[in-house]
């Protein structure tokens, strides 16, 4: 649907409008007294979130590619119905089909000082070829005092769906050496860089090398404390029992064409996830919602 038609149906004067984004695909720009955000219909993908009087909270690679079938490098990729490699077929795209599909806007609304947009992705012939289930996936993005992202999977088929998923959020930081991540102290994690060994770290996370950790059985709120920018990003969640922390560091950054060689210095992923043993089973006719709630505050 073209932006003119989208605006005719869903624009909220002064708060929400559709524009032609990079690569020509439509994106929605939202602004309230609390800040601004933008979302691409491609992938149902939150691109940017900047609270009023704050630096951007989400990171976007300067080399991000905006084209059909390609995941956007930054913001909040929607990883569904599998997180990481496909459980049985390595030929299939990593992190599922949702983030490389075109979503459809279903509603927009405003109440008090928050503005929401809802989009959906329905199973079709192409998705059935990759994943044999009838589903409707909806994402509801609400900009208010925080950014609330709610991903709901509806099982419209006759068999249980076993899904892993992530709201794979990329956060903007001053410098990787200036941050620590709290909330996961003492939590068991699978170290994807060390033969999937299960480990525990009893201190706040600091990063001085590649990190790729899947924390298990945790509903904790995480905080990214940036001592240089003197700010704290809060990553709260519900419907999620795993959290992933990732920084590609030097070698992996150089290997990714859509990731600048030095960009690992100014980003970190804290991902709201259900993976490994926390994979979710959705019975026929039922649904499951995964929520990430992001906010930022200045600290002394």
Using rule CB under 6 A, residue 293 touches ligand TA6? no
Say if residue 218 is exposed, middle or buried (CB neighbours under 10 Å; 0-12, 13-18, 19+).
buried
Closer to ligand TA6 at the Cβ: 154 or 213? 213
Using rule CB under 6 A, residue 94 touches ligand TA6? yes
| From 17, 263, 271, 293, the catalytic residue | 271
Closer to ligand TA6 at the Cβ: 75 or 84? 84
Using rule CB under 6 A, residue 40 touches ligand TA6? no
- How many CB atoms neighbour CB 202 within 10 A? 7
Using rule CB under 6 A, residue 60 touches ligand TA6? no
Per-residue binding letters, 195-224, with ligand TA6 (x by CB under 6 A): -----------------x------------
Shortest separation between residue 11's beta carbon and ligand TA6, angstroms: 32
Shortest separation between residue 93's beta carbon and ligand TA6, angstroms: 8
- How many CB atoms neighbour CB 196 within 10 A? 10
| From 42, 45, 48, 168, the catalytic residue | 168
Say if residue 22 is exposed, middle or buried (CB neighbours under 10 Å; 0-12, 13-18, 19+).
middle
The length of the chain, given as a count of residues? 300
Identify the residue among 71, 97, 147, 207 touching ligand TA6 (CB under 6 A).
71
* Annotation says 168 is catalytic: yes
Return d(Cα 89, Cα 177) in angstroms, integer: 37
Judged by CB under 6 A, the number of residues near ligand TA6 is 11
Roughly how many angstroms between the first and final C-alpha of the chain, as a whole number? Answer: 46
* Annotation says 86 is catalytic: no
Listing DSSP states for 248-284 in one string gives -HHHHHHH-TTS-TTGGGGEEEEEEEE-GGG-EEE-T
Using CB under 6 A, list all residues that contact ligand TA6.
71, 84, 94-95, 168, 192, 212, 244, 246, 269, 271
């Amino acid at each position: 649907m073209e932006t003119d038609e989208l605006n005719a149906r869903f624009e909220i004067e002064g708060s929400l409008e559709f524009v032609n984004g990079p690569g020509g695909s439509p994106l929605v720009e939202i602004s309230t007294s609390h800040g601004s955000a933008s979302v691409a219909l491609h992938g149902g993908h939150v691109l940017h979130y900047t609270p009023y009087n704050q630096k951007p909270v989400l990171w976007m690679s300067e080399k991000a590619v905006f084209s059909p079938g390609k995941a956007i490098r930054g913001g909040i990729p929607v990883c569904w119905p599998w997180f990481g490699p496909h459980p049985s077929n390595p030929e299939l795209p990593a992190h599922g089909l949702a983030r490389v599909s075109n979503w459809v806007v279903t509603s927009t609304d405003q109440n008090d000082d928050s503005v929401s947009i809802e989009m959906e992705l329905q199973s079709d012939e192409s998705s059935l070829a990759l994943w044999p289930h009838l589903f409707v996936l909806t994402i509801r993005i609400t900009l208010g005092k925080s950014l609330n992202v709610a991903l709901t999977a509806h099982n419209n088929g006759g068999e249980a769906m076993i899904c892993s998923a992530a709201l794979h959020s990329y956060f903007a930081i001053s410098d990787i050496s200036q941050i620590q991540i709290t909330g996961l102290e003492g939590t068991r994690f699978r170290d994807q860089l060390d033969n999937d060994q299960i480990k525990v770290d009893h201190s706040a996370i600091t990063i001085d090398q590649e990190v790729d950790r899947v924390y298990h059985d945790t509903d904790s709120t995480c905080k990214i404390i940036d001592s240089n920018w003197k700010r704290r990003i809060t990553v709260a969640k519900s419907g999620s029992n795993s959290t992933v922390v990732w920084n590609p560091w030097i070698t992996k950054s150089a290997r990714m064409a859509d990731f600048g060689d030095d960009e690992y210095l100014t980003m970190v992923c804290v991902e709201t996830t259900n993976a490994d043993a926390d994979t979710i089973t959705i019975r026929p006719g039922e649904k499951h919602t995964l929520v990430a709630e992001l906010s930022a505050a200045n600290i002394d």
